[in-house]
Amino acid sequence: MIRVTTVAGMKDLVRRWRGEGKRIGLVPTMGYLHEGHLSLVRRSKSRSDVTVVSIFVNPAQFGPREDLQKYPRDLERDAALLEKEGVDAVFCPTVGEMYPAGYKTYVQVTELEGRLCGKSRPGHFRGVATVVLKLFNIVEPALAFFGWKDAQQVIVLKRMAADLDLGVEIAACPLVREPDGLAMSSRNAYLSPEERKAAPVLFRSLAAAEKLVAAGERDAAKVVAGIRSAIEAEPLARVDYVEAVSLETLEPVAELAGEVLVALAVFVGTTRLIDNVRLRV
């Protein structure tokens, strides 16, 4: 596995691969890899000739009072995991390499970026779209792999790829859960043992909602209220939002019909966790 830290170095490698007619798969990450990330790597390997994993904790997507400084990092452990998966290259630039002095350009996916998590994390999706577009320009992937755990990110990036004619396929892959249902996330590392025990309430509340819809419930407000009260019954959990929205526009729906995303963000202790289910009604 080749380790690359500069944009110029990555572009050289990409030029060589493209010259050999290779189809590049990119898995963008912020590191501290878990089984969810590795599932994306395996998808990429099955669909691409070469796989690049980027590891970059992107300051542009963190708010001033968010966890940029304490975000978990362990590059050596990550590199060992990726080596074992047979990844071709890991791109791990510094902040100065990605945002050199004088950096001024940002991408905004209007409307979509302000919904769901965008309300409590203003500027987050602008940071995500910007860094992902930069990574696309550097790595020139045919395919890029993202998990449905970050459903809004998937929708925002699909919109950006279509709107800007990027010619990159955004491959959205299944959310990966722990055995007790907790969605895998690097931020789960913040949870105390008691919080970790409480955290599967997110998944349980969504699974109960899914059952309710399967039994015929179509009133979005009722489904959302059911999820809220299940979470509020857990003393360590505090709801940021629970919403049922159109999977395409992320606009709230009153009636559950077509493709619906039921998404939530919940603080467990001080850690903000997200989860969702997609329903085809």
By beta-carbon proximity to ligand PAF, the closer residue of 48 and 58 is 58
- Of 20, 82, 79, 28, the C-alpha closest to 56 is 28
Report phi then psi at 134, rounded to 5.
Answer: -60, -45
- Of 42, 45, 49, the C-alpha closest to 16 is 49
Q: Is 140 in the site for ligand PAF (CB under 6 A)?
A: no
By beta-carbon proximity to ligand PAF, the closer residue of 133 and 198 is 133
By beta-carbon proximity to ligand PAF, the closer residue of 79 and 128 is 128
Q: Which of 53, 109, 132, 242 binds ligand PAF (CB under 6 A)?
A: 132
Q: Which residues ranging from 145 to 174 are in contact with ligand PAF (CB under 6 A)? A: 150, 153
What are 227's two structure tokens? Answer: 């999820």
Candidate ranges 23-31, 112-120, 255-263, 265-273; the one touching ligand PAF (CB under 6 A)? 23-31
Q: Is 88 in the site for ligand PAF (CB under 6 A)?
A: no
Q: Is 58 in the site for ligand PAF (CB under 6 A)?
A: yes
Q: Is 276 in the site for ligand PAF (CB under 6 A)?
A: no
Q: Which of 39, 44, 61, 205 binds ligand PAF (CB under 6 A)?
A: 61
DSSP H stretches of helix in the chain: 7-19, 35-47, 75-85, 95-98, 117-120, 124-139, 151-163, 193-198, 201-214, 220-232
Instruction: Say which of 37, 124, 126, 159 is annotated catalytic.
Output: 37
37 is catalytic: yes
Q: How far apart are the first and last CA of the chain?
A: 44
User: Taking the complex as a whole, how short is the minimal distance between the CB of residue 66 and ligand PAF, in angstroms?
Assistant: 12
- 248-137-120-184 Cα dihedral, nearest 10 degrees: 80
Q: Is 131 in the site for ligand PAF (CB under 6 A)?
A: yes
64 in Cβ contact with 101 (< 8 Å) = no
User: Taking the complex as a whole, how short is the minimal distance between the CB of residue 67 and ligand PAF, in angstroms?
Assistant: 13
Q: Is 273 in the site for ligand PAF (CB under 6 A)?
A: no
Q: Is 271 in the site for ligand PAF (CB under 6 A)?
A: no
Q: Rounded to whole angstroms, how far apart are CA atoms 77 and 64?
A: 28
Residue type, 211: K
Question: In the block, which residue shows the tokens 């590059």?
Answer: 75
Q: How many residues does the chain have?
A: 281
Q: Is 29 in the site for ligand PAF (CB under 6 A)?
A: yes
Q: Which of 128, 175, 260, 268 binds ligand PAF (CB under 6 A)?
A: 128
Annotated catalytic residues are 37
Residues at the interface with ligand PAF (CB under 6 A): 28-30, 58, 61, 128, 131-132, 150, 153
